[in-house]
Copies of this chain bind each other. A is one copy, B any other.
């Protein structure tokens, strides 16, 4: 017997197959997959991503008995979750009743606070904070998407960097030099406004979110603007936790998600703005956390 855990987000997907002892049998990455199924193009892209993931998982040769998948932007009680679960069951050959599809944040929350409540701040392409009370009642802050806010997210980090780049260019009449500009332009794949515009406006949410990787590279090389952008992100993520604290009181706080793991400055700043609340960084791989949930469910 083996179980599958999936962690699907706006910048990419990860999966892991564990055996009954909890040891990894196979791992892989795949295309981005988000539950933002408002429009036909996004829906088709999600279906294509699921097909690719299932084909790769089948190619690993593992027999999948149970699945837990966390998918960004998707409500566990919405119709999309049922549709994705049915596709996953068919795609990896598992019984439909042993496939669970939830929001990716739900997985991270369970991994961070398996027994008692807390506040999880989660920063991927988007950003959100979640508290689940002892009675199961959920409270959220953030999670309003890139057109409204998503402060501290990969999208916000990439957008702030792109804004800095263009404002510098506006003042000087040409693009700035330095580590941050070079890292951004390398990801954009061009060195003029037409290339930047084409990059940013095709698949905006994902492409701008991916620029957060360039900001992290530049910060690692010592770029002061890149460092400031990451500090701003840490502060914005702390503000999400503080917003929830005004409603649910002081709680243990955990920070998770790929954007939060970009560079140590994010967690350092986050912790500084939450000094008395004992924040901790969550190092657990969400795909593995999902697989462990599947293992527990299958054993229970």
Contacts and interface: CB of A to CB of B under 8 A. Distances in A.
Interface string A143-159: 01101110000000001
A139 B174 CA distance: 11
Nearest to A245: B171
B171 A243 contact: yes
Contact of A162 (B148, B202, B240, B246): B148
Contact-residue size bin, chain A (C-beta under 8 Å from the other chain):
20 to 34
A200 B247 contact: no
Interface in A172-192: 172-173
A229 to B, nearest CB: 14
A159 B148 contact: yes
19 contacts: A38-B201, A38-B202, A139-B173, A140-B170, A141-B171, A144-B163, A144-B193, A145-B197, A145-B201, A147-B204, A148-B159, A148-B166, A148-B200, A167-B243, A170-B243, A170-B244, A171-B243, A171-B247, A173-B247
For the complex formed by this chain, how many copies does it contain in all?
2
Interface of A: 38, 139-142, 144-145, 147-149, 159, 162-163, 166-167, 170-173, 193, 197, 200-202, 204, 208, 240, 243-244, 246-247
B244 A147 contact: no
